Structure 1
Amino acid sequence: MATYADDLALAHLLADTADSISMARFRALDLHVESKPDLTPVSDADTAVEQAIRSTLARARPRDGVIGEEFGSSTAPAGAGNRHWVIDPIDGTKNFIRGVPIWGTLIALMEGERPVAGLVSAPALGRRWWGAQGHGAYAGRHQHAATRLSVSAVRKLGDASFCYSSLSGWEEGGYLEPVLDLMRATWRSRAYGDFYGYMLLAEGALDVMVEPELSLWDVAALIPIVTEAGGTFTDLAGQRAPGDGSAIATNGHLHQEILSRLARGRA
């Protein structure tokens, strides 16, 4: 079986660099923000973090490809294999520019279409999560102060804590009513958004996280963490993620019921 210990160690070093850049710009009075063509915001911190990560990867893993939110895809050299890194320099940019501390850098390693290692670093929260295939999932302030993660054992929807992204995306996709029904059927519902709901799921603090629209860099780092913590991660069709750009992450026990309810109630 492949081992990803060296790749995880590198991901931590990349995150250290990212944290130092992003924290220096968080709540900075001279933070520069522009709108991308899709009207989502990008700050000077987003671009600086991704540039720094790409620079380190070019030296440390010159045979690996890189895909990033801000600068697209750089192909690995011919014959280099199918490894590539996927970077979201700041997931939660809207939080970042408003001074909300729930944002983080997402770093994933993929082999082909399969995410095999992932790390999420949220320096404003003082917390980091990571996992790799066959290595388990962990969280802590850094890799030497970590606890192993495990999803919850909740088996009944009525006992579950349900997390979702903003309702507008679900409404646009025709899923508003089934999502509202799930909110009524579960013990508690909250919209934590971005990476955070998935990490709370991996910690066992909630039981379901659903999102209708995602890019590869939004989700690749999350999958190994959730699955190595014992959870299940698919798209809305039940296909193993990254899938079609949607995400259903659960503790495993509730997964089929969530999929069925969403499919049955779609407009």
Structure 2
Amino acid sequence: MNGNHAALAAFAHNLADLARAETLHRFEAGVGADDKGGANGFDPVTDADREAERAMRAAIEAAYPEHGIAGEEFPERPSSGPFVWSLDPVDGTRSFTCGLPNWVTLIALLEDGRPTIGLIDVPCLGERYWGAGGDGAFVRSGQQVRLRASDRTSLAEARLSTTDPYLFEDAERGAFERVRAGVRTTRYGHDGYAYARLAAGTLDLVIESQLKPYDYNALIPVVRAAGGVIGDWTGGDDFSAGRVIAAATPALFEQAVAVMRDAG
């Protein structure tokens, strides 16, 4: 990274610290959730979501007033240049409200529409994962370790995750089930944390549907910095439909795509 990008990556860590200061104590105290989903089904939001995003937005506006901001909880702030910050203050709000520790904060910096810096913060577990310019690392138990996806190349060996299999619709569900039936083991309910663990080498494959940009922007640089592959269900790079496959190796990615593209 050049000096400017290194400064921006450091600033992303500052944003994660600000968010953690708003979310962690509320999680420990226990907070209620409002339903912002309405007729579309239960979609929880808490004070932790809102206050963490407010804190990050205020910091961005003060340090980089020309940068845009696209967050989950508040209207988009347009950019007057190439940079836009993508913010998901609590990814995994259902886990948060259930007292489960694997919710994360997702922060990404987009340059000309492409995520170049990604950060996944895991406040409850004291972990943080980041990728920028092809470099990536994570901190766990106070130790910094370089990101490295596993070398598994076949579905039969793969450790698979998705947040909730009931989020898949119709043909999607059948395609996912065909992948699930062929892998070694499957874990559910981890939201953005699953991609962090793929980048750290303990999961091999993540398949999801219905993701929004603030759900996936931060994941892209992290997975790629680990040597993994992340793309859409056709094997391309168009995430606009919210369909995402992340895999530890190109061979594993191609096998998953061969099944999931049949979902239409």
- Asked if TM exceeds 0.5, the reply is yes
Aligned position for 2:210: 213
Superposed displacement of residue 236, structure 1 = 1.4
Aligned position for 2:175: 178
In structure 2, stretches of 5+ residues that fail to align are: none
Q: Can you list the C-alpha shifts for 1:194-237, whole angstroms capped at 9, x where unaligned?
A: 10111111011111100011001111111100011111111112
Aligned position for 1:167: 165
Report 1:37-56 matches (<5 A): 37=37, 38=40, 39-56=42-59
* Letter paired with 1:126: G
Aligned position for 1:131: 131
Give yes or no for contact 2:120–2:193 (8 Å, CA) kept in 1. Answer: no
- Counterpart-to-counterpart distance in 1, 2:194 and 2:175: 19
Report the RMSD for the aligned CA atoms in angstroms: 1.8
User: What SS does the aligned partner of 2:251 have?
Assistant: coil
Superposed displacement of residue 17, structure 1 = 1.2
* Letter paired with 1:121: D
CA separation of 1:178/1:260 partners in 2, compared to 1, >3 Å: closer, same or farther?
Answer: same
- Counterpart-to-counterpart distance in 2, 1:173 and 1:17: 40
User: What SS does the aligned partner of 2:29 have?
Assistant: coil
Aligned position for 1:119: 119
Aligned position for 1:90: 90
* Letter paired with 1:15: A
Report 1:1-267 matches (<5 A): 4-29=5-30, 31-37=31-37, 38=40, 39-76=42-79, 80-134=80-134, 136-141=135-140, 145-170=143-168, 172-251=169-248, 252-264=250-262, 266=263
- Counterpart-to-counterpart distance in 2, 1:27 and 1:257: 41
Give yes or no for contact 2:162–2:206 (8 Å, CA) kept in 1. Answer: yes
CA separation of 1:83/1:182 partners in 2, compared to 1, >3 Å: closer, same or farther?
Answer: same
- Counterpart-to-counterpart distance in 2, 1:231 and 1:12: 22
Superposed displacement of residue 173, structure 1 = 4.4
- Counterpart-to-counterpart distance in 2, 1:14 and 1:244: 28
Q: Can you list the C-alpha shifts for 1:78-98, whole angstroms capped at 9, x where unaligned?
A: xx3221000001111111111
In structure 1, stretches of 5+ residues that fail to align are: none
Give yes or no for contact 1:164–1:210 (8 Å, CA) kept in 2. Answer: yes
- Counterpart-to-counterpart distance in 2, 1:255 and 1:111: 26
Aligned length: 259
* Letter paired with 1:54: R
Give yes or no for contact 2:164–2:189 (8 Å, CA) kept in 1. Answer: no
* Letter paired with 1:139: F
* Letter paired with 1:25: R
Give yes or no for contact 2:232–2:239 (8 Å, CA) kept in 1. Answer: yes
- Counterpart-to-counterpart distance in 2, 1:226 and 1:235: 14
